[in-house]
Amino acid sequence: MSATGARQARLVGAALRCYPGRWRRRHADEAAELAALLIRDGTPASSIAWNYLVGAAREWLTPRPGRPLSTAAAALLAMTCLLGFSAALVAETVPAKAASTTQPASSPKPARPSTGVTSRRQFTPCRPVTPRLATGASAAAGLLVVQGTTSARSC
Amino acid sequence: MGTPERDVLRRVGEASVLVLVSLAAGPKHGYALIQDVKQFAGVELGPGTLYGALDRLERLGLIESMPADDRRHPYRITAPGAAALRAHLDSLERVSAAGRLRLQLGGI
């Protein structure tokens, strides 16, 4: 088998390992062979692997007689946490500066006095909270995080 | 016309109906099913979608797997599966006829 073929087989194999054991015992060999045939026909391995991954998620979330609903609920919770974590990772890549654009229009800007001498403390502008802290905490709670949460300011 | 049979296929999804239509012509394994559905419906079933549909139909007793041929399991439609498919197609036909008639009456 060529290096590309081996890599494709590994990719599909990884997706198949996401299925529950009961399913794997029954279908894994056949599914791997089917994937090999489809790849031979020109279907991209990544598309096949993705389709198996979606199928695996569906399989875990389908309540079965031997698998109580709580297992499905736990799987759903784990997926939600994973989504929250992914969203947090994506949010972290957005520069902190972008967060300040979500500030409501009605919020007053710190006014700079035109004349006179006042204490230095009054001119200190509000600083945006770093996205890392805000999104990280939310992701831990398994929540989907929107960038708007980072618009909180510490004054 | 008698009372229409309960349409158990109404909620199983399009992929399951396509698989059942394909198996109505005779037993097939996964790869043959994908090729056949592509040929008669123009739909490319993904392998994950296919196995989901096969599991669902088997759980409902509408298809059954036959002894493995090498590593491949051929599947065949059962008698309840054939009855369910007939009922579903009848239902689709009624909807289709009503839709065509209304389009005609509406002059669209």
Give the range of the structural domain holding residue A147, as residue numbers without chain letter: 68-98+126-155
pTM: 0.64
Residues A148, A93 within the same domain: yes
Ordered alpha helix ranges (H), B42-78: 47-59
Q: For residues B23 and B28, give the distance between their C-alpha atoms in angstroms, rounded to a whole number.
A: 7
- Token pair for residue A148? 């708007």
Please name the residue of chain A whose CA is at the shortest distance from the CA of residue B68: A30
Give Cβ neighbours of residue A129 (< 8 Å, ≥ 6 apart): A99, A150, A152, A153, A154
Q: Domain total for chain A?
A: 2
Alpha-helical (H) ranges within A1-155 are 3-16, 21-40, 45-61, 69-93, 96-99, 131-140
* One domain, residues A79 and A21: no
Answer whether A55 sits within 8 Å of B72, measured CB to CB.
no
Chain A to chain B, count of Cβ pairs less than 8 Å apart?
Answer: 50
Q: Which domains does chain B have, with CATH numbers?
A: 10-106 (1.10.10.10)
Q: What is the pLDDT along chain A (155 residues), one digit of tens a residue?
A: 678 878 888 999 999 999 999 999 989 999 999 999 999 999 999 999 999 999 999 999 887 766 666 666 666 666 766 676 566 656 665 555 555 555 555 545 454 544 444 445 555 555 554 444 444 444 444 444 334 444 434 33
Same domain, A45 and A76: no
Residues of A in contact with B34 (CB under 8 A): 34, 38
Of the partner residues A37, A38, A55, the one whose CB lies closest to the CB of residue B51: A55
A72 shares a domain with A24: no
Of B47, B55, B72, the CB nearest to A38: B47
Residue A4 sits in the same domain as residue A50: yes
- Please indicate, yes or no, whether residues A72 and A44 belong to a single structural domain of this protein: no
A23 and A52 assigned to the same domain: yes
ipTM: 0.82
Quick one: DSSP state of residue A42? T
Q: CA-CA distance, B88 to B77, in Å (whole number)?
A: 15
Q: A10 with A82, same domain?
A: no
